[in-house]
Structure 1
Amino acid sequence: MQETRLDTARIRAARRVIDPMFLDTPLYRCEALEPRLGCAVSIKLETANPVRSFKARGTEVVASRLSDDGSQAVVCASAGNLGQALAWSGRGRGLDVTVVASRFATRAKLDRIRALDARLELVDGDHELARERAAAIARHENIRLVEDSLDIETCEGAATIGLELLELVDSEPSFDAVLIALGGGALATGVGHVVKALAPEVEVICVQPLGAPALTHSWRQRRVVTTDSVDTIADGVAGRFPIPAVLDDLLLVADDAVLVQEASIIAGMRMLFDHAGLVVEPSAALGVAAVLEDRDRFAGRHVAIIVCGSNVDVDAFHHWVGAAVHSPW
């Protein structure tokens, strides 16, 4: 494998600074889903922790290094999950954390950021405007700006999931493909790096909503492609401006990048609720959605799906899941 920005030795070292409550998350066969998807399914569950997403793996690495360097403050832009994770990790290490988010972000995510004692600043725009404001704060206050997916700690923290996917099997991986939600790219490049380094025969498939396709289009065209807007319920992966360095890594580790429709995302949420007992946010259902839209591709195969987050507005979840009752799936 050609070299990405990531380093397998650093990824192994990251596990030593991540709070154990975020490590060794469940990996299990979900047989109840299998008749409905037409393939064997293993779930890697990244929601059973204090911030209900995988993001704390990366922020634990960031906060540990900042604390070691004597830093006192940090700022990030977030659709919600990164902000919660950085607030949690920073609070435990005495860091002052500022999170910039869109005022249209999921209310449950914003409320949780406040509850974790971070300073929350809201902007009247989308995540890209929040990124600009966070960068301005970092310059003005001369503090560390954490940029998800660009900062290598966020990728290598997420990459520890890949180590667990491969180490929790007896010998060769029982699954032959891993389906990964694609947003900024930290999860996909991190897990993808480990999989291709340690089990290159496993197919790495990234999944993004049709209404937020920038990084998928970029991967397909092998150049950065931006979009003017996004239109998806999967707010956690709704970026418009891919990061060039992240795209370079993704081109080395992803075997495919696919786009899925909103109806499939909602049907995936309903399936995970009905047959796996999981309440998930839309981004976490992307892997199931990909199987639903291309059953022939996955028929008879064994796929691993990373369920990456469960920070979802309760009313919205009831609305989406209720609507899915009438889905053909």
Structure 2
Amino acid sequence: MQETRLDTARIRAARRVIDPVFLDTPLYRCEALEPDLGCTVSIKLETANPIRSFKARGTEIVASQLADNGSTAVVCASAGNLGQALAWSGRARELDVTVVASRAAPAAKLERIRALDATLELVDGDFDMARERAAAMARDNDIRLVEDSLDIETCEGAATIGLELLDTAPSFDAVLIALGGGALATGVGHVVKTWAPDVEVIGIQPLGAPAMARSWRQRRVVTTEATNTIADGVAGRLPIPAVLDDLLLVADDTVLVQEASITAGMRILHDHAGLVVEPSAALGIAAILENRDRFAGRHVATIVCGSNVDLDAYHRWVDPAPNRRS
């Protein structure tokens, strides 16, 4: 039987390394969502921290290890949130952080990376082009390359969310997890399947960025030539084989959702939960909207994983009617 890369002892130990400001984020049943969704919904709010996403749980581990080893520099590719997280964690440990991102990444994310004192290099093309450039910089300068989802620290940092779900939530039937590179889904999924194996673990991707979901379904790496989704945080084309192997061990299903459902999920979270979220964070709500019968009467937990979004774009997506805002 295939073994996972994740280790439960390391996951528990990670909580001692991660800055407490990123731990024990709010988890609550959001009854106001339930009439629209037809099921009991608990929200794990990973936006309630200084970088407004879950990514620092992993970068805190990476940066701590680098500082302990006397390293002074690190580079990563990012769609925006990992770069902010690494910049935050690196700044606290006096590391020289470089982030490579696409010029098309949301301006709000890029501005925040700069504000956190990281060096930002922009490339033409998408996230996977940024990955190639970051890897080249790491080789040329002999510095650490942080690869989200491939580096086990990013997965095990995210897995601490799973510990908190199981420690504080009432029993639930399914957990809906945004699926991009796979760190969040494999990390949380590993913890859930280790200690609550009857809970369904479901990864959610946009129809316009389906590479990891297709790979899970076919049990082999499936790449795509392009992505077409507003959910930039999960818009990868090239799944990592080792991450897919981990995902195959813990995910019960993967679901693809339409763009209209993503914006509807963002709107529902705004109107009924008072939350402004980025598209990736609404994937779980989008999945419920498209699969009402599947989740009817069940208790579902979903991780609201980020809220770094350009407000102009947000209003275009969430307020399509000219007079909706008043």
TM-score range, shorter chain: over 0.9
- Partner residue in 1 for 2:260: 263
One-letter amino acid matched to 1:157: G
> Is 1:108 aligned with 2:108?
yes
1:196-229: per-residue Cα shift (whole Å, max 9, x none)? 0000000000000000000000000000000000
> Which of 230, 238, 247 pairs up with 2:244?
247
Contact residue 159 and residue 193 of structure 1 kept, 8 A:
yes
> Number of residues paired by the alignment?
324
Aligned to 1:198: 195
How far apart are the structure 2 equivalents of 1:275 and 1:12?
A: 34
Q: What secondary structure, in the 3-state scheme, does the structure 2 residue paired with 1:204 have?
A: strand
TM-score if structure 1 supplies the norm length? Answer: 0.97
Identity of aligned residues (%): 83
| Cα offsets for 1:119-162 (capped at 9, x unmatched) | 00000110011000000100111000000000000000000000
RMSD of aligned C-alpha atoms? 1.4
Equivalent residue letter for 2:28: Y
**Shift in Å, 1:324:** 7.5
If the length of structure 2 is used for normalisation, what is the TM-score?
Answer: 0.98
Matching residue's letter, 2:125: G
Paired position in structure 1 for 2:21: 21
Letter in 2 for 1:156: E
In 2, the alpha carbon distance for the partners of 1:261 and 1:324 equals: 20
Structure 2 residue aligned with 1:214 = 211
The residue correspondences of 1:44-63 to structure 2 (distance < 5 A) are: 44-63=44-63
Aligned pairs for 1:143-154 within 5 A: 143-154=143-154
User: C-alpha distance in 1, partners of 2:48/2:29?
Assistant: 17
Alignment-mate amino acid for residue 210 of structure 2: P
Contact 1:266–1:324 under 8 Å retained in 2: no
Structure 1 contact 109–312 (Cα < 8 Å) conserved:
yes
| Structure 1 runs of 4+ with >4 Å offset | none
Q: In the TM superposition, what are the counterparts of 1:3-22 in structure 2 within 5 Å? A: 3-22=3-22
The residue number in structure 1 matching 2:141 is: 141
Shift of 1:323: 2.0
SS in 1 for 2:175: strand
User: Equivalents in 1 of 2:205, 2:160: separation in Å?
Assistant: 22
Question: Aligned residue for 2:180?
Answer: 183
Q: Give the secondary-structure state (helix, strand or coil) at the position aligned to 1:211.
A: coil
Specify every segment of 5 or more residues in structure 2 that has no aligned partner in the other structure, as ranges. none
Displacement of 1:100 after TM fit? 0.1
CA distance in 1, matches of 2:90, 2:138: 16
Task: Give the residue type in structure 2 aligned to 1:197.
Answer: T
For each residue in 1:260-312, what CA deviation from the matched residue of structure 2 results, as whole angstroms up to 9, or x when unmatched?
00000000000000000000000000000000001000000000000000000
Determine helix, strand or coil for the equivalent of 1:41. strand
The offset of 1:2, in angstroms, is 5.7
Give the residue type in structure 1 aligned to 2:244.
L
Q: CA 1:240–1:287 in 2, change beyond 3 Å: closer, same or farther?
A: same
**Post-superposition offset of 1:3:** 2.9
Take 1:325 and 1:108, find their aligned partners in 2: how far apart are those partners? 24
